[in-house]
């Protein structure tokens, strides 16, 4: 009986882990990509995040907070990595948009490319809270807790992030029109 019980505990943990991986690995990958700027590194970061998550899965009690929990682990992994090396963003021309060509018009691909380039140029201080809001869907209070800053500072940073991004895009469009 004991064996059956432990077996079912293990399999339910495994099922929970599978569901997390299948449900959230894509979101985590996008977040990791914009954090580190390299697709291979983003893949490694997400994998390491989930391996750590597996080891401490018992501490996850509230499934609604799973994404925030995983992002916390991912940010720590990235910080550890960042201590060892400074990741370089790929040149905007190298950003792979091949998978989207079938679903987006040439105009929108061009617009997306400009936004991606602008995001890469955006200071990490502004980029990260904006990513957490737009990609993660987190509130300013949740972002503040994660980044260990005040909600007012988060509001200022997402405000400035959008302003800077729009400013850069306006400049890029003008440059594109002149060339």
62 contacts: CB under 8 Å, gap ≥ 6:
none
User: How far is it, in rounded angstroms, from Cα 117 to Cα 19?
Assistant: 33
Q: 11-40 burial, b for 16+ CB within 10 Å, e for fewer?
A: eeeeebeeebbeebbebbbebbbbbbbbee
CB of 15 to other proteins, least distance (A): 12
CB of 1 to other proteins, least distance (A): 20
User: How many other C-beta atoms lie within 10 A of the C-beta of residue 43?
Assistant: 14
CB of 83 to other proteins, least distance (A): 10
Of residues 167 and 175, the one with the C-beta less far from other proteins: 167
Of residues 167 and 174, the one with the C-beta less far from other proteins: 167
Please report, as ranges, the residues that interact with other proteins according to CB under 8 A. 17-18, 21-22, 25-26, 29-30, 33-34, 39, 43, 46-47, 50-56, 58-59, 61, 73, 76, 79-80, 99-100, 104, 108, 111-113, 115-116, 119, 131, 134-135, 140, 145, 148, 150, 155, 158-159, 162-163, 165-166
Q: Are 68 and 146 in contact, with CB atoms under 8 Å apart?
A: yes
């Amino acid at each position: 009986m004991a064996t059956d019980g432990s077996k079912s505990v293990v399999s339910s943990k495994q099922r929970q882990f599978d569901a997390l991986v299948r449900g959230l690995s894509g979101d985590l990958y996008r977040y990791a990509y914009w954090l580190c700027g390299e697709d291979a590194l983003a893949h490694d970061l997400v994998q390491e995040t989930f391996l750590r998550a597996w080891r401490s899965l018992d501490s996850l009690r509230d499934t609604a907070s799973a994404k925030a929990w995983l992002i916390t682990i991912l940010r720590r992994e990235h910080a550890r990595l960042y201590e060892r090396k400074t990741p370089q963003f790929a040149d905007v021309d190298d950003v792979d948009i091949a998978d989207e060509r079938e679903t987006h018009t040439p105009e929108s691909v061009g617009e997306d490319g400009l936004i991606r380039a602008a995001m890469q140029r955006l200071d990490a201080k502004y980029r990260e809270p904006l990513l957490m809001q737009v990609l993660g869907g987190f509130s300013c209070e949740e972002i503040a807790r994660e980044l260990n800053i005040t909600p007012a500072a988060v509001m200022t940073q997402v405000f400035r992030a959008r302003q800077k991004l729009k400013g850069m895009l306006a400049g890029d469009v003008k440059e594109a029109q002149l060339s």
